[in-house]
Amino acid sequence: MMPTLRVFTSFCCSAGLAIAVRVPSSHNGRPALVVPTLPEVRAILAQLQGPIVSTLIARAALPAEPSLYSDGGRFLTSFIHKKEVVAQATGRYTYGTLEYPFTLPLVSPDTITSINSFPGGVFHQDTYTPNPGLLSFYLRTLVALLGDANAAVEGTSIFFHLTQPAGPADRDTKFTLDAQLLASLSHRASIGKVVAEAKFNANITAYTPLIQSRDRGSLRVLLTNTTQEQVVLDGAANASLELATAWETAQAASPTISTNFITRVQIAVAEVYRELIDMTTDVEMEYLLQRLD
Ligand SMILES: *[C@@H]1O[C@H](CO)[C@@H](O)[C@H](O)[C@H]1NC(C)=O
Ligand SMILES: *[C@@H]1O[C@H](CO)[C@@H](O)[C@H](O)[C@H]1NC(C)=O
Ligand SMILES: *[C@@H]1O[C@H](CO)[C@@H](O)[C@H](O)[C@H]1NC(C)=O
């Protein structure tokens, strides 16, 4: 028998989240990790909304400076790479953290053996990461939306500085927020692996033949719950309205500036959450397609 389920959450440097419990038995030197139930995972995902929206607003308050991203993201990825080398040394990307780097090799996948059968409800590491698609969305779509929101504040936002930020001296702040937002979105989407395991475990007889026949269409139908998607989109819309309004109130911005900034932040957050839901479904799908390997 698996021990009683517990979920550990921790908000350290990255709103990072350890989401499964260690079981004493281990395989290949890795712990067996029992995933939470679907309602528990969803409750955790809801807690990641605030940090994601707050980081997006903080980034939107700084000038977008599109030239920082005009080289296909090379400046940003080289900034992220340096951070990831340090993060890797601290164990951020080890087995079961559900943190996956953008610029470093991923943790190796699990293989089912006779000793190690991976029963339903136990996390099974796959090789998929949403990160390339996420980075491309960020550069292609989100940078422009952040720029639109920033244009609305007309240079009035002082963020946490006494002077209005501009120029190279502020690039570290911008890239730090970009890196933080990307890591949070990646982590949020990667929790889809745990969502998929919880769904698989709740209906192994329905999922197994679809995985074996690699029936992506039917798997997608079984994985998708549009009612739940709407709950997530509504929650994100609520959070963006509340947090962007609080931000503008704190800055004593004029009503016109406030309205424009809040509206454009809401557009950006809605785009991010639509993308996040689709990326998470892809993560769930790819996780399941390797689940019986
Ligand atoms: C499993 O999924 C099948 C196909 O969607 C459905 O008919 C069945 O009721 C589900 N069983 C459980 C226990 O949810
Ligand atoms: C879909 O999600 C809603 C809202 O979370 C939930 O009440 C419902 O039971 C879910 N439907 C299925 C088929 O899992
Ligand atoms: C969003 O806000 C509306 C209006 O306050 C509320 O009725 C709804 O329950 C909220 N939805 C979520 C998912 O937080």
Task: Tell whether ligand 1 has an atom less than 6 A from the beta carbon of residue 38.
Answer: no
Pocket test for ligand 3, best of 238, 240, 241, 266 (most atoms within 8 A of CB): 238
Tokens of 46: 């809801």
Task: Tell whether ligand 2 has an atom less than 6 A from the beta carbon of residue 221.
Answer: no
Question: What does the pLDDT read at residue 23?
Answer: 54
Q: Report the distance separating Cα 111 and Cα 134, nearest Å.
A: 27
Which ligand 3 atom is at minimum distance from the Cα of 232?
Answer: 13
Task: Tell whether ligand 2 has an atom less than 6 A from the beta carbon of residue 231.
Answer: yes
Q: What pairs with residue 33 in β-bridges?
A: 22
Question: What does the pLDDT read at residue 205?
Answer: 97
Specify whether the CB–CB gap between 32 and 186 falls below 8 A: no
Which residues does 220 contact at the CB level (< 8 Å), separation at least 6? 281, 285
Question: What does the pLDDT read at residue 203?
Answer: 97
pTM: 0.89
211 CA to centre of ligand 2 in angstroms: 22
Question: What does the pLDDT read at residue 286?
Answer: 98
Pocket test for ligand 2, best of 41, 203, 224, 225 (most atoms within 8 A of CB): 225
Question: What does the pLDDT read at residue 161?
Answer: 59
Task: Tell whether ligand 1 has an atom less than 6 A from the beta carbon of residue 221.
Answer: no
Question: What does the pLDDT read at residue 149?
Answer: 94
Pocket test for ligand 2, best of 228, 234, 284 (most atoms within 8 A of CB): 228
Pocket test for ligand 2, best of 37, 40, 200, 227 (most atoms within 8 A of CB): 227
Specify whether the CB–CB gap between 133 and 275 falls below 8 A: no
Task: Tell whether ligand 3 has an atom less than 6 A from the beta carbon of residue 154.
Answer: no
Low-confidence residues of the chain: pLDDT under 50: 1-18, 24
Smallest CA separation from ligand 3 atom 5, residue: 238
Task: Tell whether ligand 1 has an atom less than 6 A from the beta carbon of residue 203.
Answer: yes
244 CA to centre of ligand 2 in angstroms: 30
Question: What does the pLDDT read at residue 170?
Answer: 78
Question: What does the pLDDT read at residue 153?
Answer: 86
Kindly tell me the burial class for residue 230, based on how many C-beta atoms sit within 10 Å of its own C-beta (0-12, 13-18, 19 or more).
exposed
Smallest CA separation from ligand 2 atom 11, residue: 225
Task: Tell whether ligand 2 has an atom less than 6 A from the beta carbon of residue 230.
Answer: no
